[in-house]
């Protein structure tokens, strides 16, 4: 039996993995039964890797050793420090992907090597390349990347019949996409897509968090420093409050012992109403609706032409989102498929189709960007080498291939500088330059020798560029790749080795060693408790008498609970000990 191609939703806040079996797509769960894995990576006190829930739990106490929302930095050349080691965004994402891969292997009891990975529809070429590289570093062949709204449409529409236009409203933790999709029997065709790569639920959390920080500063005269445990706790309670306000009109915020003010412990006790919350995020909601109208305009449709609205991403649970969409379209958005997981389910369906199983749909996606080059020409009455020549227009179905002919500008020209841009402005210098290369050794022909430039955009949205001297056939080809600098282009194997090393004998969240047979959650709790105990033992000498006595009692009780394998008791005692350490450090 051939191993299936798994589907992965690599999200800003959470990630999931799914597989298509017996005619349907299902989520894969870890050893503890969780299917939704926080996209969080950390290093514990012992230098061990934490991925998912355990990394999220560590974030409050050790934010400096925990990475969240790495997706927002994909495609950049940032370096992320974790456990004293510098990592690229691709490597941090690879830890998450490797964890999901191992979950799938444990569930399916076979080696998994291929995956379909989803990306926001509005991800740039550099961000897509970085995602592909993260998959390769994690030991996966990324057979295709598909846009998240498209994957969601597959999950919602499997088995549906008839022609209709659907609006996919995808508001996740870190990105927003809106796509207009034409569905007809077994054809899923995206006809327009737009979005914002830096708008999502994380921004909603930040607004609530800032509201609480402002309250502490203005009303309690207490400043919370960024990067501290207190700051991390406020951000986490902000996220919890957001979720509460999705179902209830009020959320109670209660955080004890954020610090000392004039020697007295300071607590946070505040109520936030849904009205307050909706006012905080009003500008973000307005922006999503502006982009909805932009997508409709690109598709040449009106609101009355939309038959269904699909909600994707956990942030669409915010009631004001549904209300505003209902006001605009005059219909209630669909939500019978869990918005947190429908993208992974759709990716698994696409994986099954690629793997040769009888498919339920033929997928036609589009590019959300215009790609082109620059050329010498007249602009605003002035000759300039930066006249933008669009070649692949925004919302063109992919895969696609476009060619244009250009000409040398002087006799005996030996080289031509090819620059590729992404954007819409007529002046190329105002667009984003995503690639550049030289075609050297031209035939030294007279001025006007033709050079053919060809752009191929594949089904994963990755751009391939070829320049050919027509008279001689001399050519130069590149795949646009801004995800790594030139110095780093040959380091994927090294990055993969580093990720392998962290997993080969490292403790990963909630994913037990099958041969050892331990339960993943218990295994994690043992390691976490031992790490807290070791830290406490190192702080005993500097503790006050009362704290020292409590610490010694808790350490002994933890040892006893570990011997009895009473992991609920271990967790309770470990949290009490961690609280004492936290207050000693503040």
Work out the burial of residue 346: count CB atoms within 10 Å of its CB; fewer than 13 is exposed, 13-18 middle, 19 or more buried. Answer: buried
- How far is residue 85's CA from residue 289's CA, in Å, rounded to a whole number? 42
| CA nearest to 388, candidates 355, 424, 358 | 424
* 470, 405 Cβ separation under 8 angstroms: yes
- How far is residue 278's CA from residue 285's CA, in Å, rounded to a whole number? 9
| CA nearest to 74, candidates 110, 117, 112 | 117
Q: Dihedral angle at the C-alpha atoms of 417, 423, 425, 426, nearest 10 degrees?
A: 40
- How far is residue 314's CA from residue 327's CA, in Å, rounded to a whole number? 21
| Angle, CA 583 vertex, CA 582 and CA 586 arms, to 5° | 90
- Taking the alpha carbons of 40, 42, 44, 46 in that order, is the dihedral positive or negative? positive
Q: Dihedral angle at the C-alpha atoms of 351, 352, 353, 358, nearest 10 degrees?
A: 180
- How far is residue 547's CA from residue 550's CA, in Å, rounded to a whole number? 5
Catalytic amino acids? 9, 71, 148, 170
CA distances from 176 to 171, 193, 197, 418 (A): 5, 11, 6, 32
Helix (H) / strand (E) element for 92: namely helix 89-108
Q: Give every CB contact of residue 219 below 8 A, 6+ residues apart in sequence.
A: none
* Peptide bond before residue 399 is cis, with ω within 30 degrees of 0: yes
Helix (H) / strand (E) element for 377: namely strand 371-379
- Taking the alpha carbons of 17, 20, 26, 30 in that order, is the dihedral positive or negative? negative
- Mapped onto helix, strand or coil, the DSSP state of residue 196 is strand
**What do you get for the CA distance between the two ends of the chain, in Å?**
56
* 363, 340 Cβ separation under 8 angstroms: no
- How far is residue 39's CA from residue 51's CA, in Å, rounded to a whole number? 8
Helix (H) / strand (E) element for 450: namely strand 450-457
- How far is residue 274's CA from residue 191's CA, in Å, rounded to a whole number? 36
Work out the burial of residue 300: count CB atoms within 10 Å of its CB; fewer than 13 is exposed, 13-18 middle, 19 or more buried. Answer: exposed
Q: Quick count: other Cβ atoms within 10 Å of Cβ 447? A: 11
* 350, 154 Cβ separation under 8 angstroms: yes
* 72, 174 Cβ separation under 8 angstroms: yes
């Amino acid at each position: 039996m051939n191993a299936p191609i798994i589907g992965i939703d690599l999200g800003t806040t959470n990630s999931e993995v799914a597989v298509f079996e017996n005619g349907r797509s299902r989520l894969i769960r870890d050893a503890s039964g969780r299917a939704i894995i926080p996209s969080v990576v950390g290093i514990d006190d012992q230098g061990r890797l934490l991925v998912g829930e355990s990394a999220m739990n560590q974030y409050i106490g050790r934010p400096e050793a925990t990475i969240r929302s790495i997706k927002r930095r994909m495609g950049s050349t940032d370096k992320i420090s974790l456990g004293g080691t510098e990592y690229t965004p691709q490597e941090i994402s690879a830890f998450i992907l490797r964890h999901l891969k191992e979950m799938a292997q444990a569930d399916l009891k076979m080696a998994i090597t291929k995956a379909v990975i989803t990306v926001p529809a509005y991800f740039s070429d550099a961000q897509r390349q970085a995602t592909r590289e993260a998959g390769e570093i994690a030991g996966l062949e990324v057979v295709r990347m598909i846009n998240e709204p498209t994957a969601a449409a597959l999950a919602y529409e499997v088995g549906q019949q008839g022609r209709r236009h659907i609006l996919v409203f995808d508001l996740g933790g870190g990105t927003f996409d809106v796509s207009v999709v034409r569905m007809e029997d077994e054809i899923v065709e995206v006809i327009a897509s737009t979005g914002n790569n830096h708008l999502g639920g994380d921004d909603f959390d930040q607004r609530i968090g800032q509201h609480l920080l402002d309250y502490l500063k203005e009303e309690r005269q207490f400043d919370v420093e960024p990067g501290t445990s207190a700051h991390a706790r406020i951000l986490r309670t902000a996220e919890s409050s957001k979720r509460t306000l999705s179902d209830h009109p009020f959320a109670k915020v209660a955080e004890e012992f954020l610090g000392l003010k004039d020697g007295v412990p300071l607590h946070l006790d505040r109520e936030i109403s849904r009205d307050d919350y909706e006012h905080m995020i009003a500008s973000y909601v307005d922006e999503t609706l502006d982009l909805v109208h932009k997508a409709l305009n690109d598709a040449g449709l009106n609101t009355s032409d939309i038959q269904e609205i699909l909600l994707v991403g956990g942030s669409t649970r915010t009631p004001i989102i549904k209300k505003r969409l209902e006001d605009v379209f005059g219909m209630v958005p669909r939500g019978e498929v869990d918005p947190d997981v429908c993208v992974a389910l759709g990716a698994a369906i696409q994986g099954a189709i690629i793997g040769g199983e009888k498919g339920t749909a033929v997928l036609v996606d589009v590019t959300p960007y215009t790609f082109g080059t620059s050329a010498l020409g007249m602009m605003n009455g002035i000759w300039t080498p930066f006249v933008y020549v669009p070649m692949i227009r925004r919302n063109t179905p992919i895969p696609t291939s476009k060619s244009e002919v250009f000409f040398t500008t002087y006799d005996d020209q030996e080289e031509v500088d090819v620059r590729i841009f992404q954007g819409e402005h007529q002046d190329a210098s105002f667009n984003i330059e995503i690639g550049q290369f030289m075609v050297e050794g031209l035939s030294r022909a007279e001025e006007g020798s033709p050079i053919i430039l060809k752009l191929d955009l594949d089904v994963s949205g990755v751009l391939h560029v070829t320049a050919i001297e027509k008279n001689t056939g001399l050519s130069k080809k590149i795949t646009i790749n801004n995800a790594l600098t030139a110095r780093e282009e040959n380091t994927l194997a090294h990055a993969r080795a580093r990720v392998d090393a962290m997993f080969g004998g490292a403790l990963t969240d909630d994913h037990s060693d099958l041969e050892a047979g331990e339960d993943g959650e218990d295994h994690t709790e043992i390691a976490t408790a031992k790490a807290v105990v070791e830290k406490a033992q190192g702080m005993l000498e500097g503790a006050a008498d009362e704290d020292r006595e409590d610490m010694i009692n808790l350490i002994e009780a933890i040892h006893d609970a570990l011997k009895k394998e009473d992991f609920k008791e271990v967790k309770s005692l470990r949290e009490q000990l961690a609280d004492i350490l936290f207050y000693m450090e503040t």
